[in-house]
Amino acid sequence: DIQMTQSPSSLAASVGDRVTITCRASQGISSYLNWYQQKPGKAPRLLIYATTSLQSGVPSRFSGGGSGTYFTLTISSLQSEDFATYFCQQSYSTTLTFGGGTKVEI
Amino acid sequence: EVQLVESGGGLVQPGGSLRLSCVGSEFSEFTFSRYWMSWVRQTPGKGLEWVAIIKHDGSEINYVGSVKGRFTISRDNAKNSLYLQMNSLTVEDTAVYYCARMNLPAAPPRYGMDVWGQGTTVTVSS
């Protein structure tokens, strides 16, 4: 199975900060990388699919980049509602796998 | 609003069985039969783990290795319903189970999961 490694596992930031989360795949996955946001007690929410495509309704301060084995999720100006846990997920393999998550805290 | 509602979770002893169900909303904008569907589970220790996936017509199915031979995913498009039959349960199967719609109708399951249910809790314990 393809292993997905996120870093950092947690970070502390302030409103207005630019935040970048990274995700590395154990092998090349082309551009088949998706990002989710999850808040406590809620289901995950799809933010970005296929590395760079913003899901409908997601604010433009979220952006994704990368290819191959290295990917990033960037929040250009952190808002209070963005404090949450973020997960990457690869869909290159028929066995889908998630990263371990990055918790963004105040 | 497109919705998925899971049910069927509960407390079961090791070695037991459970059947989870997930029903999609009846509104026209959600043509259940056009979408691949997945089950995903979450535990505090292991984060999110994809469990199983089924093509819109049921012709393709795949599972994570740890549940192969024990879990069976199925669907009934006439009832807008997805199922997960779980047999030979172990304590490691304890989790919140979500059903999720794969993004983009009739597309390969490459583009993430765009609609999720609220989750149903499965606890395996003696």
Give tens-digit pLDDT for A43-52.
Answer: 999 999 999 9
Mean pLDDT value across chain B: 93
Residue in chain B closest to A56 (alpha carbons) equals: B114
Residue in chain B closest to A91 (alpha carbons) equals: B110
Partner-chain contact A44 B113, CB within 8 Å:
yes
Q: Which segment of A1-10, A60-69, B57-66, B100-109 scores lowest on mean pLDDT?
A: B100-109
What tens digit of pLDDT does each residue of B38-53 get? Answer: 999 999 766 999 999 9
β-strand A85-90 against A102-105: which pairing, if any?
Answer: antiparallel
β-strand A102-105 against A10-12: which pairing, if any?
Answer: parallel
β-strand A85-90 against A33-38: which pairing, if any?
Answer: antiparallel
Residue A95 forms contact with B (CB below 8 Å): yes
∠ CA B43-A95-A85, nearest 5°, is 40
A77 pLDDT exceeds 90?
yes
Specify the pLDDT at position B25.
82
pLDDT band at B30 (very low <50, low <70, confident <90, very high): low
A55 DSSP 8-state letter: P
Mean pLDDT of A35-41: 96
How close, in Å, is residue A35 to chain B by CA atoms? 8
pLDDT band at B31 (very low <50, low <70, confident <90, very high): confident
Residue B48 forms contact with A (CB below 8 Å): yes
B67 pLDDT exceeds 90?
yes
DSSP, residue by residue, B52-94: EEE-TTS--EEE-GGGTTTEEEEEEGGGTEEEEEE-S--GGG-
